[in-house]
Amino acid sequence: MQQENKFTSKEAQHFLSSAISSFRFRALMFFKIPLIWFSGIRVQQFSRGYCEVYLPFSRSTQNPFKSVYFAAQCMAAELSTGLPVMAETIETGKKISMLVTGMKAHFFKKADHTIIFTCDAKDVIINAISEAQQSGGGIKFSLISTGIMKDGSKVAEFEFEWSIKVKT
């Protein structure tokens, strides 16, 4: 199934524009997920099935070894996979629960600069939601987020297993 680039529901469009708007996103994070606000994480690009999250190399994200703390990387990577999942669940107009049920991480290089985490979900999310709606049960699927520094070095790759279920 080939997905369209634009959301059709006003709610999903509003969610996307709020995530892209630095002020609205940071204000929401201040109240909902203060750690994201404190770390300075921002959504750099966001469209249907694609998300880039900016993780700054700053005092609030560093560990004692002068590199980006793995937990900060995990938080940014999870956000890059979670925003597209959330947007697609909003697009359906149905109540769909979503939960991370597993995670794997691989670290390739010391992260000593700002990192961009990218998730290109393509049709994986739409197909999983469709399957969940047809089966009426929970569906698990995996999304990968890759962290790259501005010099092009790949520093980490996270695989998140998501579980979704349509609420009745």
Q: Radius of gyration (Cα) for the chain, nearest Å?
A: 16
CATH assignment of the domain containing 147: 3.10.129.10
The pTM of the full predicted model, rounded to 2 decimals, is 0.87
| pLDDT tens-digit map of 124-149 | 998 999 999 888 888 999 999 999 99
Answer whether residue 158 is part of any domain. Answer: yes
Question: What is the DSSP code (8-state) at residue 2?
Answer: P
Answer whether residue 2 is part of any domain. Answer: no
At residue 164, what are phi and psi to the nearest 5 degrees?
A: -125, 150
Answer whether residue 62 is part of any domain. Answer: yes
Answer whether residue 5 is part of any domain. Answer: no
Answer whether residue 99 is part of any domain. Answer: yes
Answer whether residue 159 is part of any domain. Answer: yes
Question: What is the DSSP code (8-state) at residue 124?
Answer: H
Answer whether residue 65 is part of any domain. Answer: yes
| pLDDT tens-digit map of 76-124 | 999 999 999 998 998 888 888 999 999 999 999 998 999 999 999 878 9
Answer whether residue 40 is part of any domain. Answer: yes
Domain limits at 161? 10-166
Give the total number of structural domains in the chain.
Answer: 1
Burial zone of 31 (CB within 10 Å; 0-12 exposed, 13-18 middle, 19+ buried): exposed
